[in-house]
Amino acid sequence: MKFRILDLVKVIAGRDKGKTGVILKICQSKGTLIVEGVNMVTKHLKPKDGQPGQKVEVEASIAVSNVMYFSKKSNEVTRIKYSVGKDKQRVEVRSGEVITANTKRK
């Protein structure tokens, strides 16, 4: 899988088609991602330890095949490839630009 946590992706298929968001979690064994603000579902929480029950909106997983990498610079979706050389780098297929690692965490 060529996606990394904190990559910006755009949903290309499904109920949330057209939305963009940042990858929060990757499950390689299932082939799914959790993307911020995409595929929101309502979770019902029971009352517990004096706290009332409530409804909470959380992100559900989405299949990897339903998202594509979104380039901020060119403002369009693109595929990712690996450059062949001494160091393996991720490269945007359309523009040929090297994708730098996102290290900002919330």
At 88-104, the pLDDT tens digits run 888 888 888 888 877 66
What integer best gives the mean pLDDT of the chain?
91
**Can you tell me the distance from the alpha carbon of 71 to that of 80, in angstroms, rounded to the nearest whole number?**
10
**Residue 14 confidence (pLDDT):** 93
Task: Give the mean pLDDT of 11-34.
Answer: 96
Task: Give the mean pLDDT of 73-79.
Answer: 92
CA atoms within 13 A on the CB side of 71: 19
pTM exceeding 0.85: no
Helix, strand, or coil here: 104?
coil
Question: Which two tokens mark 41?
Answer: 């579902």
* Domains of the chain as residue ranges with CATH: 8-78 (2.30.30.30)
